[in-house]
Structure 1
Amino acid sequence: GPLESWCYPPPPLATPELTRALRRTARGKRGRRARADRPRSTAPCSRRDEQRRHHLLEITLPMNYPACPPSIAADVPYLPKLQWSESSRLKDVLCQFQEHLKVLQDYWSTMDGIDKALWVVDPTKPTYAMSHHRIALGDDCYILLHVDTHKPNSLPECRFLGTDGKLERLIKNWRKNRKRWSADRKFHENLATVLDFALPQPPSVSIKDDQQADCGICYATHLPVDDELGTQSGCAADYKCENPSCSRAFHSVCLRDWLRTITTTRQSFDVLFGNCPYCSEPVAVKSTDS
C-alpha cells in the first residue's frame, strides 16, 4: 500500500563523468576519428516550458541516423517514447519533447507548491527530474513522499520516519483519513487534512554570498579530482550567469565544454561567446584554463 511502498527518483541529466565524456567528444571532433560503435554526435540544447522553466535536453545521434532514432536525456521525471521513422528529423524530436513538457506542467506546479508551502529537508536543491521529497513534520518526525507524475494531486506514496511513539498518531491518522484526500484541494492542504494537524512552514533561509552552489551543467558542487582537469581538479563552481533572474552557477570547464558543442558559439582570441543554457542570455568564458 502507499504507506509502505517507495520509489527512488531517476538520476540527474548530467554527471562529472558525462562532462568528461563531452570533453572527449569535443576533442574527437577536432581531429580524432570516431569508432563505428560510438554515437556520431551529441547535441545539447535548452527548452522552455509554458511556465518559462528551462529544461536541458541532450540528443545523441547514432552512427546510422536517421535510419535509427536518436536517444535523449533530459531533466524530467520520465522520458517520452519517441515516434520515429526514416523521414523523421531532429525538429520532430524537439516537437515531441515540447509536447512532453506540456504533459508535465501539472506535476511541476504541484512540486513547486510543495516546495513553497512545506518544510522540505531533502532534496535541498531539487531538480525537475525528482519526484520524491522528505518533509519535516516537527518533533524529529518526517514523511517521505513520492508524487505520482501522472496524477500529481492524488494520494502519494509515503513512508514515515521518526520516533515510534510520535509516529503512531501520524500513521493512525493517515490510515483513517486517507479517503479525505481530494484532487480539488492543493497538495499541502490535503496533507494537513489527512494527518490532521497544522504542518510546519518552511524556515526562511538567507543564502550567504559565499555559499557554494551546484553547477548547472554537471549538478555537482565540486569537479572530480582528476589529473585530466589540471588546475580545475576538485574546484567549486566559479562562473555565474550575470542575468539577475537566472544567476545560475557553473564550473568554467563545464560551461566551456557545453559551449563547444553548440554551433552558434563563436570564439575571439581565447574567449568563447555563447548563451546561458538556462536563460539564453550572453555568457563568455576562456577557451583554456591558462
Structure 2
Amino acid sequence: MTADLNQFLLQNPNFRVLSEIKNNLIGNLEVDDHVYQIEFLAPKFPSTNGMACKVMKGVSEISLNHFKPEKATLISEYLKELGEFLRANTIRHRPGFTAASIRDFLHQLELLSRDLRCKTVINKDFTVIKLTNFEGYEGHYLDLEISKTFEATVQRHSLPDKDSFGNNLFSISGGLENVVGQFRRLLEQFSDFYSHLHTIDELCTVVEPMLVSTKHNWRMICITERVLGKIVIDPFSPSAVTMNFIGPTLEVEKYRKIYNENIHRWDIDLDVYRNLLRIFDLMYFPMKMCDDDEEEKYCNICYIYMLDDHIPLISCDNPRCDLVFHVACLKEWFSTLDERKTFLAVTFGSCPSCKEKLSPSFVQLLEM
C-alpha cells in the first residue's frame, strides 16, 4: 500500500480498500442528512486519471452522466466536487397531503412490504418510495414517485431499461400494489437471465461493461487474446442469445463460421456459458488476465489504460502489431484523416501505428 493511499485512508476513515489492484476503494460520503456509498477504481491514485466511479443511495445507483468535475485532478478534490453535485441534485417535494391520507398510505405501505417481502423507505415529504431487499433478490431496487392521489410512477429500477426489441422494459404508472407486484413478478421471471450473466462474470474475462450492474443485459468477453465476443441475452427468454465477434478480420470470420455452423448444438437446458463452450468445443474461455499484463496494454494514442470507464479494445488486422486503442481515441483519430472512407455504412480506417486496415467488426464499437 502506497504512502498516498495510507494518508487518504487516515483522512477518510469511512473508506476502505477492496483491492490494492488498481486501488479499488469503497466508502460512505455524507451529504447533509444523506449517506451515499462510493466505490471507485483509481489506477493512478491519487490522480483522477483513468478513474471509474459508482455512487449508490441505498441500493439505487445515482447517475453521474451530468457530473463534470472541473478542477478535480486528485481523488480528494473529486470527492469534494462530487459532494456538491449530490447536494445540488437532492430534490424535495412538499405536496399538500393530509394527516389522514398519510396515515392510510403508511398502513398500505406496511402491508405491501410484508406481502411482497421487501423493505420500503419513504422520504419525509411522502413523495418518493424506495423498495429494496426483495427476498431472494437483494441486489434489486425500485424507486417510485407518488402523486397526491397516491398513484405510483416508476422513476428508477434495477432491471435492464430495454427489452430485445428496444422497448422500455418496465415503465408504468398505476396503483402502488399493482406497480410493485409487477416488478416482483419480473424479478422472478428474470431469475435464469441473471443466473446466466453471473456465470459469465465468474468464469470469463469480461472487458465491458467495466462496472457491471443488474441493468446490463450484455457482456463483452475475451474469446482469444485479440478476439472479443459480445453476448446479448433476452431477459424474457435467456436461451435467446445474440453474439457478435469483434477483432481482426480473419479471426472474426473463423469464430463467426464456427458459431453459425454449431448453433444447432444449443441446448435450452444448459446455461449460456456452457452452450458457448459446446459450440466452440472448448473446456473454458480465457480467464481474467493478470494485472501486470493489463497494465502493459495502454492505448497507443492517449497512453493511458482506463478512459471514461473504458479500456483499449481495438487492434488492427496486422498479426505483428500488438497495439490497442480506446474507441473514443480512435474516433478522434479518424476525424483528422483525409483518407477516411465510408462504403455501405462501414467505416474502414487504418491503424495509427502500422497503417494496416482495421476490421469492419469494430464498427459496432465505434458507433456505440
Identity %: 18
Aligned equivalent of 1:107: 193
Contact 1:47 1:56 in 2 (8 A): yes
Amino acid at match of 1:48: N
Unaligned runs of 5+ in 1: 1-11, 31-39, 207-219, 222-290
2 CA distance for matches of 1:21 and 1:151? Answer: 41
Contact 1:50 1:102 in 2 (8 A): no
Deviation at 1:142, TM superposition (A): 0.5
1:171 to 2:256 alignment = yes
Aligned equivalent of 1:93: 179
**Per-residue CA distance 1:238-270 (angstroms, 9 max, x = gap):** xxxxxxxxxxxxxxxxxxxxxxxxxxxxxxxxx
Change (3 A) 1:127 1:162: same
2 CA distance for matches of 1:139 and 1:110? Answer: 23
Deviation at 1:71, TM superposition (A): 2.9
Aligned equivalent of 1:229: none
1 CA distance for matches of 2:264 and 2:207? Answer: 27
Give 3-state SS (helix, strand or coil) of 2:220's partner.
strand
Unaligned runs of 5+ in 2: 1-59, 68-84, 96-124, 162-168, 292-307, 310-368
**Matching residue within 137, 146, 150 for 1:61:** 146
Aligned equivalent of 2:30: none
Change (3 A) 1:106 1:50: farther
Q: What is the total number of aligned residue pairs between the two structures? A: 180
Amino acid at match of 1:175: N
Change (3 A) 1:173 1:111: same
Aligned equivalent of 1:48: 133
Deviation at 1:198, TM superposition (A): 4.0
Aligned equivalent of 2:211: 125
Amino acid at match of 2:140: H
Aligned equivalent of 1:157: 242
**Matching residue within 259, 263, 276 for 1:191:** 276
Q: What is the root-mean-square deviation in Å for CA atoms of aligned residues?
A: 3.3
Aligned equivalent of 2:11: none
Change (3 A) 1:202 1:29: farther
Give 3-state SS (helix, strand or coil) of 1:25's partner.
coil
2 CA distance for matches of 1:153 and 1:77? Answer: 17
**Matching residue within 14, 30, 36 for 2:62:** 14
Change (3 A) 1:42 1:103: farther
Contact 1:137 1:199 in 2 (8 A): no
**Matching residue within 82, 91, 94 for 1:25:** 91
Structure number with higher strand proportion:
2
Change (3 A) 1:49 1:113: farther
Amino acid at match of 1:181: W
Deviation at 1:50, TM superposition (A): 4.7
Aligned equivalent of 1:72: 155
Give 3-state SS (helix, strand or coil) of 1:178's partner.
helix
Q: Which has the higher contact order (CA 8 A, sep 6+)?
A: 1
TM-score scaled by length of structure 2: 0.43
TM-score scaled by length of structure 1: 0.53
Aligned equivalent of 1:9: none
Aligned equivalent of 1:213: none
Displacement over 4 Å in runs of 4+: 17-22
Deviation at 1:83, TM superposition (A): 7.2
Contact 1:123 1:134 in 2 (8 A): yes
Contact 1:121 1:136 in 2 (8 A): yes
2 CA distance for matches of 1:42 and 1:21? Answer: 18
Amino acid at match of 2:222: A
**Per-residue CA distance 1:113-134 (angstroms, 9 max, x = gap):** 1111222111122110101110
Give 3-state SS (helix, strand or coil) of 1:203's partner.
coil
Change (3 A) 1:203 1:71: closer
